[in-house]
Amino acid sequence: MLLLVIAAAAFLSTLLGGLLALKLRDKLHLILGFSAGAVIGVAFFDLLPEAINFGRAFHSPATLLSCTALGFLAYLVLDRMLLFHGDAAVRGPFAAGVLCLHSLLDGAAIGLAFQASHHMGIVVAIAVLTHDFSDGINTMSIVLKNGGNRAQALRWLLADAIAPVLGVASTFFYTLPGDGLGTALALFAGFFLYIGASDLIPESYHAHPKFLTTIMTLAGAAVLYLAIALIGQ
């Protein structure tokens, strides 16, 4: 029952974040700035520490960080291939799809943490819920930034909101090997670092005052850091 409540909360949190991004579309550069900080904050303050925490019994920190580098470089290659074709209609859905996969992994992490212990499940669930709101903003921002219309953005937002619910549900049917979750989280950290640093930050600066967008980027990272730090106390 508790897992169902958490899954519903993740759905609503993601949905609300995306709807806020849609409502403030005329301030999209500021939302993109915040999203960039939030994406990078998730990678540095949440995904990488959790990757090392889950994976240290099986892999060295150097190996896990190599997975992060692999994720960053793999996303770079794929993004450059899409950029070469110049099709923003492809790049937007591709980035949104990565965010949805991350949300799916978020949900799986909650379910698997509950398999380990009730306490760990609660801690992981709170961590996921704190940045699901940003996930919704990020998904909506990426689709709109790449020329997607309102209907397309809402469809991707709905997919991103459903993804953690499916992730939680999936853990009723399997148990992930102990070494799998750490490497998966490290890989997704690399994806997020690329999306934030190469996609969202440059776009948030485009034709807009840099001071305020910089403040928003720092605010996005700070919000994620504070939320995760408070959870860890």
SS3 sequence of the chain:
CHHHHHHHHHHHHHHHHHHHHHHCHHHHHHHHHHHHHHHHHHHHHHHHHHHHHHHCCCCCHHHHHHHHHHHHHHHHHHHHHHHHHCCHHHHHHHHHHHHHHHHHHHHHHHHHHHHHCHHHHHHHHHHHHHHHHHHHHHHHHHHHHCCCCHHHHHHHHHHHHHHHHHHHHHCCCCCCCHHHHHHHHHHHHHHHHHHHHHHHHHHHHCCCCHHHHHHHHHHHHHHHHHHHHHHHC
Q: CA-based diameter of the chain, in Å?
A: 50
* Averaged pLDDT for residues 160-178: 87
Q: How many residues does the chain have?
A: 233
| CB 166 within 8 Å of CB 3 | no
What is the rounded distance in angstroms from the CA atom of residue 159 to the CA atom of residue 162? 5
For 155, residues 6+ apart whose C-beta sits below 8 A from its C-beta are none
The pLDDT of residue 67: 95
pLDDT per residue as tens digits for the range 102-152: 788 888 888 887 886 777 677 778 767 766 777 788 788 888 877 788 888
What is the rounded distance in angstroms from the CA atom of residue 36 to the CA atom of residue 55? 26
Question: Structural domain of residue 221, as residue ranges?
Answer: 2-232
> Which long-range contacts does 77-86 make (Cβ < 8 Å, 24+ apart)?
79/194, 79/198, 79/199
pLDDT per residue as tens digits for the range 19-65: 887 777 777 778 778 888 888 988 898 889 888 888 888 999 999 99
The answer to pTM > 0.75 is: no
Number of domains in the chain: 1
